[in-house]
Amino acid sequence: MNDTRDPNVIIGAWLDEGPTDLPESTRRAITTSVRTIDQRRGFTLPWTNRPVTSWFGPALVAAAVVVAVAGIYMLAPFGRTPSVGPPVGSPTASEEPPATPPPAAVGRIAFTRYDADIGPFGENLGTFIVNADGTGEQRLDLSVASDGVVWSPDGTRLLLTNAAGDGGRALPAVANADGSDAQVLGFDGPFGDVRCAAWTPDGQRLLCSVDARGDPNLAGIYSVAADGSDQPGQRLTTDSSVVVNGSISKCSGQDIPGDFSPDGTQFVFIRMLCGGGEDPAAGQTAEIRVGTVGEDQSVAITIPGIAHPLLPGARWSPDGQWIIFGGSSHLLYRVRPDGTDRQTIPVATPSLDAFLYRPDWSPDGSRIVFSMQAQSGGETELYSVAADGSDLQRITQRPGAEDYASWGPPAP
Amino acid sequence: MTVGLVERAREGDDAAFTELVDMYGDRCYAIAYRILRDTERAQDAVQSAFLLCWRELPKLRDPERFSVWLHRLVVNSCYEEYRRHKRWSSNIRALPLDGPEGPDSIASVADRQALELAFGQLSPEHRAVVVLHHHVGMPLATIAEVVGVPLGTVKSRLFHATRILRTALGADPDTDIPEVRSA
């Protein structure tokens, strides 16, 4: 095929056409105007001739102290010190080898690969399965495109979390483990995007967020039959739809599904919270919450700001003891389901600005898979570590950004 | 260097702010034009965004975040401009057919007509993601921060918008062209 007829190349070329230089008249208008606009830095007391921020200056100082303390609180592991070995790559790793060998990476990892330059259409992009040791990668031939994938507990089916729906909606689909027979769950009625993230332990139901196109009486987290027979299913959260309007931005709070507990009686999810002031979207934070199926209430297990507002992921360990998630500090955390004992997972990253997100447990809970951009602007690949953060192993090697890793059992 | 300029501008140094306008103005204008497909409205959007930037700059806590923050202001300003214009304008507008066409042009006149029509069906939210991705080459995670939605939503918007544009080019002939609304 001639590259110049590649639709994506044509789209890119078309977008590149047109003006790129800000007209001088507009530039002048901006720079002239700023000299006449008060930058809101307060006023000058006539008797001191000293600028002050505002009458609530002391309150701002106090707020700054709170922010600083919160920052320390966020970045430092707290609670009981995790009993972990030295991370691979740390100065002590070679001096003091672990007494027991690290757990083996067993099973299959499903993931999506996306290329920022190509999009999801190329032959080497889409939904993939790879052995947990990085061997045997294969691309699934799916009849529906999706940018997220989750193994069913028994490893026989795949949840496609964000399949292409009608009218541009995101809808879930369920397919066989080899990608065949993908069925989109239609969600007729007043529903917008429906995104699912987890299966119940028995594989019968899915944990989903339902966007009811602005109707607060319908939006929330739902438990939905995996065969789509009881849409929209059982509503699990009812208090997520908070809309904050500011003069700069508008922010809509929402709940993002995480995972069911191993016994299926509880679920973890991420609540996106709006900031205040004129730009509430800029101040968006997230908190991890745990709810009980059948009870219309949930409790926060992290304070706002710990979890990454956009890429947290939240997965329940197979033994039920921990919930793991990606933090706004770009590190991985684990926390008890009751909110105690939060700890960073001490991964020996290649650089200080590495970005780790969207983790998942291996079926036996001994290891964790996650996406990592090893350095700012670099490639995003899948890696795994032992549950204590040691034994960092790279799983994927090819171009493109790997995301939505889901660790399933070995092939039968 | 940028951080130093932002810090100075944050303290009210309008000369430093002028340097920031020089550094970022062209890029912001290119983005605004491609979202709005109109030079005058793009100029208005960029001017509004920079004036808001100047006014709100003292509140920006982390100068390292200036670029993302400024892009957010520009995109939001485009949304406002789009909706303000849509309230009183008709949907009929001339197609820009006077662009380059010849041996060096990848997009033919027919391609550009088809893309212009298809792009016109996209919401400003979908347009922004397409422009930031295909034109600016911004990483998707950064786009998510700029437009203030989860990464999954960015991917979803990009997927659907790109599919519509590809369909317009006849690349995906089995796909209808639905009207994409704001997510």
Contact of B119 with B165, CB cutoff 8 Å = yes
Q: What is the pLDDT of residues A263-307, one digit of tens each?
A: 999 999 999 888 877 777 777 788 999 999 998 889 999 988 788
Selected for mutation to probe chain B from A9, A17, A171, A195 (highest B CB count within 10 Å) is A17
Least confident of A57-61, A106-110, B55-59: A57-61
Closest approach of chain A CAs to the CA of B4, in angstroms?
18
The token pair that represents A110 in the structure block:
């499903």
For residue A94, what pLDDT band results from cuts at 50, 70 and 90?
Answer: very low
Across the interface, of B43, B169, B181, the residue whose CB is closest to A10 is B169
Look-up: residue for tokens 């069906």?
B121
The question of ipTM being above 0.95 is answered as no
Across the interface, of B17, B155, B178, the residue whose CB is closest to A167 is B178
Q: Report the residue of chain B nearest A119, measured CA to CA.
A: B159
pLDDT > 50? residue A81: no
Q: What is the mean pLDDT of residues A361-385?
A: 91
Q: Which among A362, A351, A355 is positioned nearest to A384, based on CA atoms?
A: A362
The per-residue pLDDT of chain A, averaged, comes to 78
Q: What is the pLDDT of residues A45-66, one digit of tens each?
A: 222 222 323 323 333 333 333 3
- The answer to whether B51 contacts A34, with C-beta atoms less than 8 Å apart, is yes
pLDDT > 50? residue B154: yes
* Interface A:B, Cβ pairs < 8 A: 192
Rounded Cα distance between B148 and B50, Å, is: 19
Contacts of B52 in chain A (CB under 8 A): 248
At residue B182, the pLDDT reads 36
- Taking the model in full, what pTM does it have? 0.59
Helix (H, G, I), strand (E, B) or coil at B30: helix
Least confident of A327-336, A398-407, B84-93: B84-93
Contact of A346 with A298, CB cutoff 8 Å = no
The more confident residue out of A1 and A134 is A134
Selected for mutation to probe chain A from B68, B135, B158 (highest A CB count within 10 Å) is B135
Least confident of A8-17, A190-199, A345-354: A345-354
pLDDT > 50? residue A92: no
Selected for mutation to probe chain B from A6, A8, A24, A30 (highest B CB count within 10 Å) is A30
At residue A152, the pLDDT reads 97
Cα separations (Å) of B73 from A10, A16, B45, B154, B183?
29, 22, 9, 17, 19
The more confident residue out of B110 and A260 is A260
Contact of B72 with chain A, judged by CB distance below 8 Å, is answered with: yes
At residue B1, the pLDDT reads 66
Contact of B53 with chain A, judged by CB distance below 8 Å, is answered with: no
